[in-house]
Amino acid sequence: MKIAAEVDALIRASIKEDLGREGDLTTRYFVPRDKKLYGRVVAKQRGIISGVGVAKAIFIVRGCRVKVHLRDGSPAAPGRTVMEIWAGRELLSLERTALNFLQRMSGVATLTSLYVRAVRGTRAKIYDTRKTIPGWRLLDKYAVKCGGGQNHRMGLYDAVLLKDNHWAAGMGVVAQVRKLRRDHPRTLVELEAATLAQVERALEARPDVVLLDNMDRATLKKAIRVIRARSKAEIEISGGVSLETVGALARLGPDRISVGRLTHSAPALDLSLEVE
């Protein structure tokens, strides 16, 4: 992946966080200054790799030489080498920072791939949300793409999503959507609905996407029928979606299913750095 300026800043901040003012005291006192080391990042479990470019950038910061074996989006089996690193003792100082990025991103990609597989054969695509680690959004959403998922809006600035709190606190929705489209004609407009009555209200504004939030199965079926009959809007399902339920939800016929746990609850992929 190309390292964006904000990701580069995050990399450098993460290295500084670990080294602090004194640097790596363990390595300084117990590993010879001129020691040459060789390391391999190895997969310990099956999954999808993401974050190779970030891990490589971390090692390169201190002059390490890196050879990548598995690119982002590649499947990894236990025992497979992800990358090789040739370095001095700084390899030991950078090990945990590099693995933190690589394991986290690969975990997101792996979980996403499981959801994508669960809806295969339906029209539904798996989308992420804004439930990301602060400062990590570019990386979290990149990892979702590596796992075969789709990115929802990046932030509050690139799409409109009118949720329940906006309905409660806001102005006339139809008039405001019209004003928004005049001011921002290319901006996607999505309206959330938790009841059939809210679906009716949402359709009056002619949104691009209707988000059906936390509805039971029977209400979802009715809502999807109403929207398909009256609008060309895409239909998104969200709220408490799990691997156990996502397949059945996809078979109801939505275009999109958004899953917050892709980025807020993905377990890290088990990877290790073996040093010789």
Q: What is the pLDDT of residue 10?
A: 96
Q: What is the pLDDT of residue 105?
A: 98
Class (C level, CATH) for 121-264: alpha beta
131 is catalytic: yes
Cα 167 to Cα 155: distance, rounded to the nearest angstrom: 19
Q: What is the pLDDT of residue 50?
A: 98
The identity of residue 5, as a single letter, is: A
Q: 27 pLDDT exceeds 90?
A: yes
* Catalytic member of 192, 234, 236, 256: 192
Task: Grade residue 164 by pLDDT with cuts at 50, 70 and 90.
Answer: confident
Beta bridge partners of 211: 192, 236
Structure letter (DSSP) for residue 241: -
Average pLDDT, the chain: 95
Tell me if 81 sits within 8 A of 69, measured CB to CB.
yes
The identity of residue 174, as a single letter, is: V
Class (C level, CATH) for 5-116+266-275: alpha beta
Q: What is the pLDDT of residue 92?
A: 96
- Residue tagged 């997969």 (tokens): 43
44 is catalytic: no
Q: 65 pLDDT exceeds 80?
A: yes
Structure letter (DSSP) for residue 187: S
* Catalytic member of 35, 67, 96, 225: 96
Q: What is the pLDDT of residue 97?
A: 97
Q: 169 pLDDT exceeds 80?
A: no
Cα 143 to Cα 8: distance, rounded to the nearest angstrom: 16
Residue 12 DSSP SS3: helix
Cα 11 to Cα 102: distance, rounded to the nearest angstrom: 12
How many other C-beta atoms lie within 10 A of the C-beta of residue 197?
A: 9
62 is catalytic: no
CA 224 to chain centre: 27
Task: Grade residue 14 by pLDDT with cuts at 50, 70 and 90.
Answer: very high
Kindly give, in sequence order, each residue whose CB lies less than 8 Å from that of residue 175, ignoring residues fewer than 6 positions away: none
Beta bridge partners of 127: 150, 258
Q: What is the pLDDT of residue 1?
A: 65
Angle at which helices 196-204 and 217-230 cross, to 10°: 20
Q: Residue 90's closest CA among 59, 66, 120?
A: 59
Q: What is the pLDDT of residue 245?
A: 97
Q: What is the pLDDT of residue 243?
A: 97
Tell me if 68 sits within 8 A of 56, measured CB to CB.
yes
What are the residue ranges spanned by the domains of the chain? Answer: 5-116+266-275, 121-264
Q: 170 pLDDT exceeds 80?
A: no
Task: Grade residue 16 by pLDDT with cuts at 50, 70 and 90.
Answer: very high
* Catalytic member of 40, 117, 131, 201: 131
96 is catalytic: yes
SS3 content of the chain, % helix, strand, coil (to 5): 45, 20, 35
33 is catalytic: no
Q: What percentage of the chain carries pLDDT values higher than 70?
A: 98
